[in-house]
Structure 1
Amino acid sequence: MDVVRTAIGLMSGTSMDGIDVALIRTDGRGFIERGPFLGMPYEADFRRRLKRALELARPLRDRTERPAELREIELELTLRHATAVRAFLERFGLAANGVDVLGFHGQTVLHRSDEGLTVQIGDGRELARRTGIPVVYDMRANDMVHGGQGAPLVPAYHAALAGKFQQAGEAVCFVNIGGISNLTYIGADGRIAAFDSGPGNTLIDQWIEMQTGRTYDPGGEIGGRGRIVPALAERYLDSPFFRGNVRRSLDRGDFAPLRPDEASLEDGARTLAHVAAASIVKSAGFLPERPSAYIVCGGGRLNGTLMAELSAMAGGSSVLSAEAAGFDGDAMEAEAWAYLAVRSLDGLPLTFPGTTGVAAPVSGGVLATP
């Protein structure tokens, strides 16, 4: 009989806005019982520190390298995750000894899939020591050792969830719109295909912060007042990333932000929301077939302008928020990291040829005990 474990997932994504904490009970296979969720935003000073980490990581050639300042930021990040775990346990009346494992994503500061290099900062051993809970971390690296792109990893969880929504004979596609967007296709026959689809929130957030000092466009309201600037949109959508049959994983630096004088605040936000939606549809052209529904999770689902653009381009496929499909779009990535941690403990595959391009299904992750 498969063992059901209680797992907490910790996710700090490319938007660098905070830590998502979610609990599930799962056997790492088909049984999933979703529990509570908590979002812990970063303060502005620490967000600036994380952006500094991106600069410090740029010259790295080994994923274990930690120049002194980067190591300091890594420790700060780890301590914040420990604080988030303690706050989560206290908020929901849970005990650390009632949690079997933490799935710790850390913060991706460098991802060069073509070079087989990915760097996630976050000290799993220190997190285990400070929380008293075993930690599975560094879950991307083994995939890249075996020839994969190291991303996306969430598809294994999407596939497990699909059975709760999918109608017989229909394909569905989960769309995660974080800093970078990615797609997970689950065919009627259970076939999985997944890949990064293009820029998600990152370009919009960078534009809004550059122009206003705010960190995002709440609800897509700013973009909703603007117009698409075709020349700017095409500059992104003509990228070689959208041509050819080889899908690759993306780093947040693969698409350069707009320059400050290239558009008005509103037109820039609208154009970049259009780019995010069009990127999804362009990349969906590489799926085995058009899905009956797109289920949208991640922060981008809250951008009404982006969602309206996606609905208009979806070509007859329905576009649903995760909540409309019965899920929690805020919690899903953190839940996925909890699910993957349990799979890692059991030596089950985290990635597959159809998700990262790895030659054969492969497990991964490093286990740290208190």
Structure 2
Amino acid sequence: MIVYKAIGLMSGTSLDGLDICFAKFWKENSCWKFEIIEAETIAYSETLEEQLRNSIHLSAQDLLALHSEYGFYLGQITDNFITRKQLSAIDVIASHGHTVFHQPNRKFTLQIGDGRAIKLQTQIPVIYDFRSQDVLFGGNGAPLVPIGDELLFSEYDACLNLGGFSNISFKINDERIAFDIAPVNIVLNKLAQNFGQNFDQNGNLAKQGKINTELLNQLNSLEFYHQSHPKSLGVEWCNENIFPLFSNLDTKDILATFTEHAAEQISKVLNLHQLKKVLFTGGGTYNQYFIEKIKGKTTSEIIIPEKEIIDFKEALIFAFMGVLKLNNEINVLSSATGSSQNHSSGILA
């Protein structure tokens, strides 16, 4: 039996830090199995968080400089993680990078953090840039985790991640489809910052607000929610379609309304597809008020797993995608992204 040891690096749009997951993968009766051995989140310094948050506004030269600088940072952090945890015999590091631009309709997506810099720091093979090839194949370049949902978490009817954006994957007619549902923490966290908080803990701020019906209707009627899958969201879409609707409203009322809106959109998808057992992961899972809102609108059974899976499922799946790429096996599903074919994606450094 061949056992692969891999590290997955994931930086989400909510910018709460770098998720590092060291796991092993093996096949039993032709089914993939996994075990998370070590995992942690390294919080970004205020300076780096600010740099990444504003990277969308940088000149081409400064963006290329940050691409290298952030790559070396990822390498240093990973090297330090390996030393502290006394890890050895690592086959591959798989790095998602930090998304700056995501415009699949114009055939590009950009995740910075040069994989070659990570390789120089760690002396371990690195696979990076998992999204670009899919976009060139006419896909959304997202979501990518459905391959892991399919091969590692198949006991659930659906897997739903509540991160910067909420996304879901499930099977229809033996084909796994996936798509982004609605923004979540990318909006809620930004609003919470008005109160000096990084996020709305347990939805306590939203609880104090009143739902603004007019705003709720405006949000629910946005064109994206009426499009069919595959479809994906990016920060640019929020800047264009969401944030402009908030002017002149009380922030707590916006939080209450947006929480209601995201819960409505998520439960609508669960109900429409009659999904019975749904695995919930990602930072938004800790927002009790939000979870209760969803539970109140659906009959689906919401499964909240152990903390390790909540926090590190995406980093785990990127590690797994790295293993698949090493073996030149399919790691991106066209049924999920809308590309012209299934393919093995990522660049090997």
Q: Shared fold by TM > 0.5?
A: yes
**Equivalent AA in structure 1 for residue 16 of structure 2:** D
Give the equivalent residue in structure 1 for 2:153.
162
Structure 2: stretches of 5+ with no match in the other structure: none
Give the equivalent residue in structure 2 for 1:240.
223
Q: In structure 1, how many angstroms separate the alpha carbons of the residues matched to 2:303 and 2:225? A: 24
Are 2:6 and 1:20 equivalent residues in the alignment? no
Give the equivalent residue in structure 2 for 1:169.
none
**Equivalent AA in structure 2 for residue 197 of structure 1:** I
Aligned CA-pair RMSD: 2.1
Give the equivalent residue in structure 2 for 1:207.
191
**Contact 1:220-1:302 at 8 Å conserved across structures:** no
Q: 1:43 to 1:242 in 2, by over 3 A?
A: same
**Equivalent AA in structure 1 for residue 165 of structure 2:** I
Q: 1:179 to 1:222 in 2, by over 3 A?
A: same
Give the equivalent residue in structure 1 for 2:112.
121
Q: In structure 2, how many angstroms separate the alpha carbons of the residues matched to 1:21 and 1:297? A: 16
Q: Give the match's secondary structure for 2:110.
A: strand
Q: In structure 2, how many angstroms separate the alpha carbons of the residues matched to 1:182 and 1:348? A: 24
Q: In structure 1, how many angstroms separate the alpha carbons of the residues matched to 2:111 and 2:316? A: 18
Q: In structure 2, how many angstroms separate the alpha carbons of the residues matched to 1:16 and 1:40? A: 11
Deviates more, 1:191-200 or 1:123-132: 191-200
Counting matched residue pairs gives 343
Q: What is the CA deviation profile of residues 57-114 of structure 1, one whole-angstrom value per residue up to 9, with x for unaligned ones?
A: 7xxxxxxxxx22112222332232123212322332213xx11100000101000121
Q: CA deviation at 1:262?
A: 3.5
Q: Identify the match of residue 293 of structure 2 among 281, 284, 309.
A: 309
Q: 1:266 to 1:111 in 2, by over 3 A?
A: same
- Normalising by structure 1, report the TM-score: 0.87
Q: What is the CA deviation profile of residues 163-208 of structure 1, one whole-angstrom value per residue up to 9, with x for unaligned ones?
A: 3x44xxxxx1111111111101146x75311111111211111111
- Normalising by structure 2, report the TM-score: 0.92
**Contact 1:322-1:329 at 8 Å conserved across structures:** yes
Q: In structure 2, how many angstroms separate the alpha carbons of the residues matched to 1:94 and 1:353? A: 35
Are 2:218 and 1:227 equivalent residues in the alignment? no
Are 2:101 and 1:102 equivalent residues in the alignment? no
Are 2:134 and 1:143 equivalent residues in the alignment? yes
Give the equivalent residue in structure 2 for 1:217.
200
Q: In structure 1, how many angstroms separate the alpha carbons of the residues matched to 2:269 and 2:276? A: 16
Q: CA deviation at 1:280?
A: 1.8
**Contact 2:325-2:346 at 8 Å conserved across structures:** yes
Q: Give the match's secondary structure for 2:296.
A: helix
Q: CA deviation at 1:284?
A: 4.3
Q: In structure 1, how many angstroms separate the alpha carbons of the residues matched to 2:138 and 2:106? A: 10
Q: In structure 2, how many angstroms separate the alpha carbons of the residues matched to 1:349 and 1:311? A: 35
Are 2:262 and 1:276 equivalent residues in the alignment? yes
Are 2:68 and 1:75 equivalent residues in the alignment? yes
**Equivalent AA in structure 2 for residue 8 of structure 1:** I
Are 2:166 and 1:181 equivalent residues in the alignment? yes
**Equivalent AA in structure 1 for residue 278 of structure 2:** Y
Q: 1:150 to 1:261 in 2, by over 3 A?
A: closer
Q: What is the CA deviation profile of residues 232-278 of structure 1, one whole-angstrom value per residue up to 9, with x for unaligned ones?
A: 22222111111132431111221232667543332222222222222
Q: What is the CA deviation profile of residues 202-222 of structure 1, one whole-angstrom value per residue up to 9, with x for unaligned ones?
A: 11111112x223221122221
Q: CA deviation at 1:119?
A: 0.6
Give the equivalent residue in structure 1 for 2:327.
346
Q: In structure 2, how many angstroms separate the alpha carbons of the residues matched to 1:118 and 1:283? A: 26
Deviates more, 1:80-89 or 1:231-240: 80-89
